[in-house]
Amino acid sequence: MSTYLGYLLAGLGSGAVIASLALGLVLSHRTSGVVNFAHAAMGMYVAFAYFEFRETGELVLPFLGLPARIYLLPRPTQTTALIVAVLLAATLGLLVYLLVFRPLRQAAPLARVVASLGLLLYLQEIVRLRFPVSGAVATRHRPVLADDPIDLLGTTVTQNRLLLLLLAVVAAAVLGAVFRFTRFGLATRAAAGNEKGALLLGISPDRLGAVSWAVASVIAGIAVILIEPIAGISATTTPLLVIPALAAALLGGLESFAITTAAGVAIGMVQSLILGWAVRPDTTWLPDWLPTTGIQQFVPVLVIIAVLVWRGDALPDRAAVSGRRLPPAPEPRNVLAWTVVLVGGAATMLATAGTELRHALIISLAFSLLTLSVVVVTGFSGQISLAQLAFAGVAGFASIRLTEHQVPFPVALVLAATLATLIGVIVGYPATRVRGMSLAIATLAMAVAIEELVLASPPFSGGHAGAAAPRPFLLGLDVGVGATGSDNFRPAFGYVCLGVLTLAALGVVNLRRNRTGLRWLAVRANERAAAAAGIDVTRAKLGAFAVSSFLAGLCGVLMAFSVTTLSPTSFLVIGALVAVALTYLAGVSSVGGALLAGALAQAGIVTTLLSSKGGGDADTYVFAISGIALILTAIFAPEGITGLVRDRVASLRHAAHRAGDQSPTSAVARVEGGPA
């Protein structure tokens, strides 16, 4: 019994940090209505900056284009470093609110989701670029809290875990008291209930939001700083602490600080218990193929899915319907002409270009299938899914295992994509009762669960070593990508990718035009009206998830056969965020936007061409640039690049038409009643 109690107490530290991050999420949501997916990433940056300043006396700034470091003090003390970290965190929270989320106060949920994803991408890349050791767990060995062991209830627990718990409880109590008994709390509740009424009473929602976001950022930064001696900090894993924090915040209804704190501590303790139990030498119930960390990470996923499904509705209420505004999804035009031009251009490049450009084009062709899946599920049906790359990973490794068992390549391609479709429908079924921000939370959590439980399983993916696909053959012809020297990245495999993408894109165009696509658009526009018109909303959503998952599966298979060894790291959640970011940037509601997003992919055709023309930093800074571009697009151009081009072309045509109507010949024709 004492052993299990020790496991539970060992989770107090991580549970307290989860609770603290969840408090920040609740605080920012209560004043702005935003669920900030970048909340843990903001704390991660502050923590890295704190430890760097503690060691070197240099303050690391998170802005591209400005000096990376400012030298402040020769030997900062711990107190001085903490003061600088608090000021930095408050400034970061204030700037994020004023520059990113305040302009999006009245925007659609999709715009706010992608803005927070853009911020997450940007902060992750800034940490990777500014802190050389950020790729792995970076422990500085200068803990803020004492870590002496203490005997408690017959077991041993370190002092810092208890102090972390105490700080989380105190923070929850202070926030609860402020919101219940002070004028600030009363004003916040008034502004949340009726913003226009609050303005008439002289209450500034902007001021309330700025203060709350600054405090939330400080809480996140201090929490990650304090957890560093226990769990370390990493640019890859630390931002994902937002998932268990979201689970705790959802249990608290994104309202209650007390329930949120209790839920966060409980989640951390349960995760610690499961991990401790799973790694015991006498544990025989756990199969060897099931990763222990995956079971641990699945706890908040279950909480999130259960809470969202329990509180979700099959149809949204009237207020939710009236608040949804998504970019228009125009009907594709001149499909044949565009197909001939694009397919002909890609085929010519595959036949004539050098090795580097062929490789880049193959990457863009495969990635376009993933972005096409985002267009289907998000642009056409309005469902914000962040799990598309996880579906691609399942299909990619499944295709390798199938071909190892002598399944022909074309059959393996279809079967693996079908498996991804089944998983997508399973994920999408509980998601039919949630939408908007809640659906983004659910699919992000499921993506992490698939990554930790399935893609990290050694028998399925080969573990850290990955898996190599056999040589593919199509109708007896070798279509493998690999060759020696300048023949590498063979055009034959490029033609396969081009053919698959062409068929998929034409299929999506046809779906957009027929009754299925019209149903998706009706559900996206107004679920209640669609249901009243006789549309089965649940079936329409599941159909969109199925088609998008199949497309993502095709991408995964092509990725598996385009590399020497397929690694699980190719399907990390960060890649899914990049896919959504680039698709939204290019145009999330059109097939043309998906193709443009594929061209903009990292190591794709656009970044390769820019690098060859002297823009060598284009590929290095692609995540950071994508994050900034995504935020700017969400604020200023929610229709994306293709939407801007369509609007510009339409305005030019309108101007030309008006100029023609006002010409002397047209005027005479109108007077005489004849043609111009």
Single residue among 263, 282, 301 that ends a domain in this structure:
282
Q: Does residue 412 share a domain with residue 274? A: no
Q: Is the pLDDT of residue 266 over 70?
A: yes
Question: 357 and 261 in one domain?
Answer: no
Does the pLDDT value for residue 463 go beyond 90? Answer: no
pLDDT score at 676: 39
Q: How far is CA 307 from CA 300, 310, 311, 366, 573, in A?
A: 10, 5, 6, 36, 22
pLDDT digits (tens, 9 = 90+) for 82-121: 999 999 999 999 999 999 998 988 777 778 888 888 899 8
529 part of a folded domain: yes
Based on the domain organization, do 385 and 273 belong to the same domain?
no
Say if 219 falls within a structural domain.
yes
Higher pLDDT, 498 or 325: 498
Element (H, E) at 156: strand 155-158
Does 274 lie in the same domain as 178? Answer: yes
Q: Is the pLDDT of residue 225 over 90?
A: yes
* Residue span of the structural domain in which 668 resides: 649-676
Instruction: Write 408-412 long-range contacts (CB < 8 A, 24+).
Output: 408/473, 409/472, 409/473, 409/474, 409/479, 409/561, 410/474, 412/557
Range 476-486 average pLDDT = 87
Residue 182 placed within a domain: yes
In DSSP terms, 566 is beta-bridged to: 467
Quote the number of domains for the chain: 3
In this predicted model, which residue has the larger pLDDT, 301 or 48?
48
Segment among 185-194, 408-417, 488-497, 602-611 with least mean pLDDT: 185-194
Query: Over 70: is that where the pLDDT of 325 sits?
Result: no
Residue-level pLDDT at 314:
52
Domain assignment of residue 251, yes or no: yes
- pLDDT, residue 147, reads 79
pLDDT given for residue 273 in this prediction:
84
Distances (CA, A) of 105 to 102, 192, 577: 5, 12, 22
Torsion sign over Cα 181, 183, 188, 191: positive
> Do 274 and 342 have their domain in common?
no
Is the same domain home to 487 and 360?
yes
Check residues 616 and 584 and name the one with the higher pLDDT: 584
A 10 A CB-CB count for 292 gives 17
In terms of domains, do 277 and 326 share one?
A: no
Q: Is residue 592 part of a domain?
A: no
What is the mean pLDDT of the segment spanning 272-301?
69
- pLDDT of residue 599 exceeding 60: yes
pLDDT computed for residue 221 by the predictor: 95
Q: Which residues pair with 151 in a beta bridge?
A: 156
Tokens of 673: 């009643």
CATH code (residue 398): 1.10.3470
Q: What pLDDT was estimated at residue 620?
A: 60
What is the Cα–Cα distance from 188 to 211, expressed in whole angstroms?
Answer: 11
Residue 193 scores a pLDDT above 80: no
Looking at 534, 553, 573, the residue that finishes a domain is 573
The 8-class DSSP code of residue 478 comes to E
Share above pLDDT 70 across residues of the chain, in percent, rounded to a whole number: 86
User: What token pair was written down for 651?
Assistant: 């305005």
Residues 429, 506 within the same domain: yes
Domain boundary among 528, 554, 573: 573
CA diameter of the chain: 103
Residue 444: closest CA among 40, 136, 95, 127: 40
- Asked if residue 414 lies in contact with residue 578, where contact means CB atoms within 8 angstroms, the answer is no
Q: What is the dihedral sign for C-alpha 216, 222, 225, 230?
A: negative
Higher pLDDT, 109 or 123: 123
Q: Could you tell me if residue 593 is inside a domain?
A: no
Which of 22-37 are b and which e, b meaning 16 or more Cβ less than 10 Å from the residue's Cβ?
Answer: bbbbbbbbbbbbbbbb
Per-residue pLDDT band at 662 (split at 50, 70, 90): low
Residue 67 in domain? yes
Task: Give a yes or no: residue 589 inside a domain.
Answer: no
Place 148 in a pLDDT band, splitting at 50, 70 and 90.
Answer: confident
| pLDDT, tens digit (0-9, with 9 covering 90-100), for 496-547 | 999 999 999 999 999 999 999 999 999 888 888 888 888 998 899 999 999 9
270 in the same domain as 324: no
Predicted pLDDT of residue 569: 85
For residues 68 and 132, membership in a common domain is answered with: yes
pLDDT at 432 over 80: no
Range of lowest pLDDT (140-149, 174-183, 656-665): 656-665
Range 246-258 average pLDDT: 90
Burial (CB count <10 Å: 0-12, 13-18, 19+), residue 226: buried
On the question of pLDDT at 316 being above 60, the answer is no
DSSP element (H, E) containing 473: strand 473-474
Q: Give the angle subtended at the CA of 244 by the CAs of 456 and 125, to the nearest 5°.
A: 70
Whether 165 and 222 share a structural domain: yes
What's at 230, amino acid-wise?
A: I
Distance CA 211, CA 195 (A): 17
pLDDT at res. 671: 47
For the record, the structure tokens of 273 come out as 């218990």
Helix, strand or coil, per DSSP, at residue 231:
helix
Alpha-carbon distance of 162 to 280, in angstroms, equals 25
pLDDT of residue 376: 95
In whole numbers, what is the pLDDT of the chain averaged over residues?
84
Residue 470 token pair: 């056999």
377 & 261 share domain: no
Distances in whole angstroms, Cα of residue 661 to Cα of each of 75, 551, 647, 675, 676: 75, 46, 21, 12, 9
Q: Is the pLDDT of residue 322 over 50?
A: no
Residue 558 pLDDT greater than 60, yes or no = yes
